[in-house]
Amino acid sequence: MSFGSKHMWYSIGGAVVVALLAWVIISASTGVAPWALNTDQQATSTDTTKTGGGTTTGAGKYPAGWPADAPALQSGAKITYSGAMDPKTDVVGPTLVYTGSGTVATAVKFFTSQFTAKGWTFRGQGNVQGSVQLAATKDTRRVTVTILETRPGVLNVTMGISKQ
């Protein structure tokens, strides 16, 4: 595995960890404990790569169960990971990671407008170690978006949708 490839996977892994940390922090501030989730209803995937902790659909594809009313991806986004649940935390719900161009500020503006356009209620923004986390709710669902600028003009975005 080349240095660039390892660096990319470390960046993706770091972004996922930061996103999950933000989700726990935001959940605590809204009164929804992460351990109170109903894990009896698990999303499944139709394209198949089995991993130790779940099923992934692979790069370039949306995960099974991705809702039509989810915030859109930024123009030029390249999906690098998608799955039915996080293999490290077992948080259930469709999740994807993508890379794209832009700045954190433009991505925050894009997603807050997407929340409104798609009928989601914006719940808050947090900043952890250089990344920005956004949370919104709709009906019984929560969307968490983590935006990390991995180098100038290059973004790594993690978006997950789960039950509240």
Q: List the chain domain ranges.
A: 3-65+76-163
> Per residue in 13-63, pLDDT tens?
666 666 665 555 555 554 544 443 333 333 333 333 444 444 455 567 888
pLDDT band for position 128 (50/70/90)?
Answer: confident
List the beta bridge partners of residue 101. Answer: 154
| DSSP codes of every residue in 16-81 | HHHHHHHHHHHHHHHT--GGGS-TTS----SS-EEETTEEE--TTSPPTT--TTSPPPPTT-EEEE
- Amino acid identity, position 91: V
Name the pTM for this structure. 0.65
User: What is the reported pLDDT for 129?
Assistant: 84
